[in-house]
Structure 1
Amino acid sequence: MARVTVEDCVTKVPNRFDLVMLASQRAREISAGAPLIVERDNDKNPVVALREIAEDAVSQDELRESVISGMQKHNERDEPEEEAAELDALSGETSEAEAGAAEVESEMDGEGLEAALGKIFEDITADDVTNYDD
């Protein structure tokens, strides 16, 4: 790689790390068969990519998008619409259950709550419930 080419590119892309990512993406595109915008002149793909960037022959925004899309992993699910509907239904059931529990709790006083717990948890006494913090 010619030092002059890199120094020309740094004026276009000030961050050297970004420059490496953009140039490598363009070099991959050239290797995959993308048409050259500048003449090759017996240069390898990375040098051609740097020359294209230095001459503003390629769009930096498009190269950035290509880099980003190449790095992203996308898992497509079979039926996301059905999952969303199921989640909505479950959240509705949860809020209804919470509302019902709050209503029952407000109707019961301390003794009624102990009686309800006694029916549900027969092997646990009311003393175990009230002295739980000890």
Structure 2
Amino acid sequence: MARVTVEDCIVKIPNRFELVMSAAQRTRDISAGAELTVERDNDKNPVVSLREIADETIAIPELKESLIRGSQRMAPARDEAEEAETEEVAADAEENADALADALNVQDDSASLDAAGALAFQDEVEIDDED
């Protein structure tokens, strides 16, 4: 990055940390396909974002708001219809899980019976061999 660009940006955003975070957010926006407000001139996205900040071709308050929205990890509020649908899906999943557990228990019981029968058969064969 050119020192001139960074020095020009410090005038617009005096806090260096805030400048870096804002430029990084704008760089992500550019990478995601946002329209450039300055000529690229063979520069990479971080340099273009700094040039946009320095030239004030983008709204810095909007950029800060975009940074805040991008950093939030809170899920958006759901409406009642979405909550009802989620509860319905959860109930269906629980019923399916119960049915699957019942099926597995039946299979486990038959498997244990098969194993017990095999052991009994093996004991009979060993007894017959001793005679």
One fold, TM greater than 0.5? yes
Letter in 1 for 2:36: L
Q: Distance in 2 between matches of 1:26 and 1:7?
A: 18
When structure 1 is superposed on structure 2, of 51-60 and 70-79 the one drifting more is 70-79
Where structure 2 has 5 or more consecutive residues not aligned to the other structure, the ranges are 84-131
Cα drift, residue 73 of structure 1: 1.5
Cα drift, residue 78 of structure 1: 6.1
Find the counterpart in structure 1 of residue 25 from structure 2.
Answer: 25
Number of matched pairs: 81
Letter in 1 for 2:42: N
1:77-134 per-residue CA deviation (whole Å, 9 max, x = no partner) reads: 564xx9xxxxxxxxxxxxxxxxxxxxxxxxxxxxxxxxxxxxxxxxxxxxxxxxxxxx
Q: Distance in 1 between matches of 2:30 and 2:78?
A: 33
Partner SS for 2:51: helix
Residues 1-134 of structure 1 aligned to structure 2 (within 5 Å) = 1-75=1-75, 76-77=77-78, 79=80
Where structure 1 has 5 or more consecutive residues not aligned to the other structure, the ranges are 83-134
Q: Distance in 1 between matches of 2:29 and 2:37?
A: 12
Q: Distance in 1 between matches of 2:22 and 2:7?
A: 15
Higher relative contact order (CA 8 A, sep 6+): 2
Partner SS for 2:14: coil
Any runs of at least 4 consecutive aligned residues in structure 1 with deviations exceeding 4 A, and if so which?
A: none
- More helix per residue: 2
CA-based RMSD of the aligned residues comes to 1.8
